[in-house]
Structure 1
């Protein structure tokens, strides 16, 4: 009888422990109740660092702010991609994603009947045929409202930007990079994966300016920046090749010629790591094959900005995955 009496309190305590631990925040190495680990693969994606910081809940490290033009674009494209590629993973109370379209235009012609301008004077919301989680879609509308309220300041900033043309092309490159991301992200992460669910939850919290669900483990991108670039002999030609080829994925017209990197020259910091690197490359455009040049500026031994010859003042952000590989010594000779 004594053993039976002792058994029931033990059983009760065990049940209580299981119940309490189910409410504790999960860490990267802690499996969910369905047996899946919280893993979110961003390797090779254009906005890989942004996605990883959101997934981990490390909002303080995110360079793209919720007030930036790019954030609602990323959020909206993600919802559309999920709706198109993962429709069976949506809940029963899903909502349709809407978009604004022009309902009526005002066309102006000259005395000869030739059209001189066309302006939309009436807009309407129509369905896209794609659906999203209700809470995520609401969060997207919140950040779009912020953008709408701040439209005048954003327009004036763009108009007074001394590097407006270069930054406008950057927006095109980013949009193309985002398009490539959305074609790959659900191949890297299954629609019903626990990691994807955590990413979405933190994406919503970031949009609504709410506290994140944080992971304890540091992102590899944070560790990379803290450790800095590698010392010793590195294959800098290969590094330039990979960085330029990655940028070329988002070029609108020109096409980078693989294997064409030449004339690599570098200046070094006090630890023998590159401070600045210059090289030539070849690309194909409207006029056939041509030669271009690139300058890469390093910070703490890692590439910080990529400047191409046609826009020498416009800093292109290097691919974070390539930087992580370089920091880990994968380009060592």
Structure 2
């Protein structure tokens, strides 16, 4: 089994304590995170060789971001150094009927201003079996999109499995631009990961009889979404997370994995949320892990959903759980009883 490489932006996360609003806060807790970095950390915690690729400034804040990954055993040797700033995002945690809020301050970050020459993908992909990125990375700008496309082409030519989490962010780019750019990337992708909204926002593919705002999820509708995506782009697998939002604190969490014209649905978990940021990334990491371990499709989606369920109970972007903890939950022990 080769190394898994993920590519994207790691940001400084600034958040008020507990459930304070931005306007109430007189201090902000600092940590690091970002879609593809979160996946790399999860995979490293699962015992796999994971490397994260990005560009970060040479100054101390850039080094702090690198160190946040190294402490979990993520290979940071492929990170390009340069540029002037680390991207920032501010997080205000929601509660009850008040939603969480994210404000980005990432314009001009090192990865957003990177150029194709910053990354030697043929060297980076030596000994690599899997490449993962999300729709957030090409949304950072035309150069970032071009770098992502080059990486996908070289990965595909080298027989490397490519996965993508669509991860549409309306604050980064409009739907028509996302559809155009992501449409060029999808032919190189083997495994597509999405949530209830992504397929609709990026490609205009809607699940029938579903309403994410009311929490109404139609399983058959998402099976059809996966089939349309597979027929259009030739994916080997499509995974869709199914979140029923009861409130900012309480969700029902499940997923579907579609492969070989068959849909596999996980069990549903009622989740009381501590921190939902990174929940989709932990699902993606679980999906990659299960696939690489040779799990059956049902076992894979159960592992991925259980991993993500646990992430919702952990502060910060990173999912700091072990394979054993995930397997225990996936196996049916959801009691949350004290372990002695």
**Fold-level match, TM-score > 0.5?**
no
Name the structure with the higher helix share: 1
Larger RCO, structures 1/2 (Cα 8 Å, 6+ apart): 1
Return the TM-score normalized by structure 1. Answer: 0.25
Larger Rg: 1
TM-score w.r.t. the length of structure 2 is 0.25
